[in-house]
Amino acid sequence: MERGSPMHFGMSLKAAFTQRWNLLCFLGALAFAAISGRPDIWAPLVLAGELLYVGGLASHPRFQAFVAAQAAKTARQQVFVDADLVLRRILSSLPPKSLQRFEALRTRCLELRQLAAEIKDPSRVGGPLPLEELQLAGLDRLLWIYLRLLFTEYSLDRFQQKTSQEQIQRDIADLETRLRQSERVPDDTQRQKVRKAIEDNLQTCRDRLANVQKALGNYELVKLEIDRLENKICALSELAVNRQEPDFISTQVDQVASSMVQTERTMNDLQFATGLDATDDAVPELVRREPVVVKN
Distance CA 130, CA 109 (A): 13
pTM of the model: 0.57
Query: Residues of the chain with pLDDT > 70: what percent?
Result: 67
pLDDT score of 201 more than 90: yes
How open is the CA angle 5-9-13, to the nearest 5 degrees? 170
* DSSP single-letter state for residue 74: H
CA distance 140 to 285: 6
* Amino acid identity at 224: L
What's the mean pLDDT in 259-278? 70
Q: Kindly report which listed range (41-45, 129-133, 189-193, 253-257) carries the lowest average pLDDT score.
A: 129-133
First to last CA, the chain: 49
